Amino acid sequence: MAGIGRLSTKGSVLLLCDMQEKFRPNIFQFTNIVSNAARLLQAARVLGIPPIVTEQYPKGLGPTVPELGAGDLTAHAKTKFTMMIEPVEKELKALGDPKIAILCGIETQACIACTTFDLLEKGMEVHIVADAVSSRSQTDRLFALSRLRQSGAFLTTTEAVLLQLVQDAQHPNFREIQKLLVQPSPDTALLSFFSSL
């Protein structure tokens, strides 16, 4: 059913935005954000959901951090504050124009926001994994999440994505996904956001 935010492995893509070395000391909850994104990437591989990685000006900001586990993927270099650059557009077309984007990375008020707007304008359903996105400031992060929710994106969490993608303990890949859920997602200080809703 369109419009209610139901996740599916069919027609989905995982977008991993700009989780790079130079951002490490400055991004709020960086280690936990990358840890959650890494779990999403592991799940995507198990479930056959294609991942796409970008890097913002890698010459100056460095490569994608190794703990993401994306070393085997081609990272698309960009200078725009959106992931929707020509090589990514081509990759999406080659994937059959997925209808659902699962989005994580940094920064929430910049590249996550611009990517979300572009995806929504293309008619895609956007699921922003709130505990897998961040910014330098918690204020920018939380206001951006609120703004993107107003624009029509769905806010979710790492664990919610994993469970909604399998939907059933009888799913053939459930045991592999369950292993990714043994430890709960680390707290990334989102409770203040939800207390204001």
Annotated active-site positions, please? 18, 78, 111
Q: Please give the distance of CA 18 from its chain centroid, rounded to a whole number.
A: 10
Tell me the C-alpha to C-alpha distance, in Å, between residue 154 and each of 48, 55, 178: 22, 24, 23
What are the structure tokens assigned to 93, written together? 């077309």
Q: How far apart are CA 123 and CA 99, in angstroms?
A: 8
What are the structure tokens assigned to 111, written together? 């590249």
What are the structure tokens assigned to 114, written together? 């611009």
DSSP β-bridge partners for residue 156: 129
Show Cβ contacts of residue 55 under 8 Å, excluding neighbours closer than 6 positions.
18, 20, 61, 63, 64, 75, 76, 77, 78
B/e letters for 47-60, b = 16+ CB within 10 Å, e = fewer, are bebbbbbbbbebee
